[in-house]
Chains A and B, each alone.
Chain A
Amino acid sequence: GGAELLFDKVKEHEVKLSHDNNPWTIRKLLVWIKENLLKERPELFVQEDTVRPGILILVNDADWELVGELEYEIQNKDRIVFISTLHGG
């Protein structure tokens, strides 16, 4: 829904995250995305340590509220989708 503009217009990113003692949570992922994938205007995507209100996060097509929001631990081969609902159609 337009979020790809902040990522150089690339919609899909396949990402390999390094193995760590600490498991990767969505919170950690957002920080990682901000540092590595976000090309411009970080304030339009992340706000403090969570995603900006108006951007939905789906984990394997399920609402992130059902899997624990920021504390969800990412499993291997998970598919995470960010949909921007700002600027509605």
Chain B
Amino acid sequence: MCQITSQNDVIPKEDCRLRYPYLSIIKSVGKSCMKCQEPATVVARLHDPFCRNCFLVYFTHRFRATFGKSKAVRNGEKVLIAFSGGHSSCTMLHLVKEGLAEGVHKKLRYQPGVVYVDENVCLEQDKEERSAQMRKIETWLKESTFPSYVTCIEEVMSKCSPGYRLISGDQSHDSEDGHDNPPTENSMKEEFKQLLENTSSLTTKEDLIQKLRLKLLKQIAKQLGYTKIMFGDSGTRLATVLLGNLAKGHGETVHQDMSFLDTRGEEVAIIRPMREFTSKEIALFSHQCCLQPVFIPRISTKASRLASIDTLTEDFVNGLQSNFPATVTTVLKTGAKLTSDEETIGKRHTCVLCQSPVDSSSSASSASAATQYSMSLRKSSTVYSSSSSEPEAACEVARDNASCCGEGDESCQSAKKNEELTSADLSVVMCYGCQVMMRDVKSLDRLPSSVLADVQRQKRRDEMRLEIEDFLLDGSEEG
């Protein structure tokens, strides 16, 4: 029953493993694999013992079944794999490669590509270490045999489309080499560093990096023609993200943040096939298959458990999971039941940072209205760079400068000069969670130009809408 044929290359050859006399020890404790009664090696799921082969089969089967069941990926679709070098990403890439290998009977054939986002600008590392890490990453990318790209997180600050570097694979695209113009690259690095320096707490830094990374990946996927991005977030990680998001004010988006298929954003959707597995199972799988993940330190690597909301939540979930193995599944199942109000989705704006719907019609007795009222009572607003926070004044200024720009395609290009952002602007263009995050950023002008451009465009469209409101046929019909 657990015979693995040589055609199925999931389990690598035995010569890369040293043999250990563990059989005698395990037999003495008495646990055998629940499937084939061989001595058990790992404990997966709740308390189920598996032998090595059965565990690998179970893991692979679960991964493929998640894909098949969801029908999220169609035949021939281009899917971009976001690779970070950690256990989850390596396991996911390995499984995708094995799943699409020749000789394996699969009905689903999609076209993957791999992208790696270099975040060295967030945490400067030793040059030698960094080049050693990059070599390992590039080895991984090349061995995947899929078209692979490397980009840097600071490319999100780019004024036109972000640059990237082609590592291997298909030559059919004209790839803009992001490293062609060093002066531009350095200035983007500096801008990104300044953006991070302008945020005071680690929580906001992590959140901002995560949102900008997602934005960058979506831009690159769109450029290269990919319709889906695959992330390697494990179930444990998603449970942590869910609880952390509730604490940070992103409660509206929890369902999308941890679902298998995330359809926020116009053209590019996100899939998370590793959400069925806990981080323990993934680490065991990658260890058993001798995969060599590349460890790259992040800004919160050696932080204490109280350093940020994310570290605290991670500590909490991991601690609970070790004693109650059903924690992660329970949290994820509960999160799957929390959905937002679908009726008003069509009328809402989308947040410029995270593409979630913005709730612009909160009632007078809602919690967010109360928070905003108490914020406005605080006279000293050192957060925002504008002198006036009156929405009427901003409208007046815009009206004075308003003149038709002549563009007929719904993009209002008038008033191109950079108006400074006010708190009223943010409440319209950003979801509540992102607004909370922005309170921690001292100077909003440091945000990437694409984000600021989106804010301005949204503002102008709203003003235009206000002007022609009387002429619209029906409030719910968009012209």
Residues of A within 8 A of B (CB): 1-2, 4-5, 41, 43-44, 52-54, 56, 58-63, 65-68, 75, 79, 81, 83, 85-89
Contacts and interface: CB of A to CB of B under 8 A. Distances in A.
A77 to B, nearest CB: 8
Interface string B315-338: 100110110000000000000000
Nearest to B49: A66
Given A63-B42, A66-B49, A85 B20 contact: no
Given A61-B20, A67-B29, A53 B295 contact: no
A68 to B, nearest CB: 6
Nearest 4 pairs between A and B by C-beta?
A89-B86, A60-B20, A85-B279, A53-B322
Interface in B278-317: 279-280, 282-284, 287-288, 293, 295, 297-298, 300-302, 304, 314-315
Interface in B157-180: none
A63 B43 contact: yes
A65 B49 CA distance: 10
Given A54-B318, A79-B20, A88 B295 contact: no
B241 to A, nearest CB: 10
Interface in B228-269: 232-234, 236-237
Given A1-B295, A85-B279, A89-B84, A62 B42 contact: yes
A62 B321 contact: no
A85 B87 contact: yes
Contact of B41 (A5, A43, A56, A63): A63
Interface residues on B, range: 35 or more
Contact of A1 (B21, B40, B293, B302): B293
B90 interface: yes
Interface in B6-39: 17-18, 20-22, 25-26, 29, 31
A75 B321 CA distance: 29
14 contacts: A1-B87, A2-B295, A2-B301, A5-B295, A43-B304, A62-B22, A62-B41, A62-B42, A63-B42, A66-B49, A67-B29, A75-B25, A83-B87, A83-B283
B204 interface: no
B192 to A, nearest CB: 21
Contact of B87 (A41, A61, A88): A88
Contacts of B41: 61-63, 66
Interface in B43-91: 43, 49, 52, 84-90
B436 to A, nearest CB: 24
Given A2-B295, A62-B42, A81-B287, A88 B29 contact: no
Nearest to B303: A44
Contact of B298 (A53, A54, A56, A87): A87
Contacts of A54: 279, 314-315, 318, 322
B90 A56 contact: no
Given A53-B321, A63-B41, A89-B86, 11 more contacts: A2-B301, A52-B318, A54-B314, A61-B17, A61-B287, A66-B49, A67-B29, A79-B18, A85-B283, A88-B233, A89-B89
A83 B287 contact: yes
A1 B42 contact: no
Contacts of A2: 295, 297, 301
Contacts of A5: 295, 297, 301-302
A68 B17 CA distance: 24
Contacts of A4: 295
Contact of B287 (A58, A59, A75, A89): A58
A66 B20 contact: no
B314 A86 contact: yes
Contacts of B20: 60-61, 79
Given A5-B301, A54-B318, A60 B283 contact: no
A7 to B, nearest CB: 13
B228 to A, nearest CB: 19
A41 to B, nearest CB: 6
Given A60-B21, A85-B87, A89-B90, A67 B314 contact: no
B11 to A, nearest CB: 13
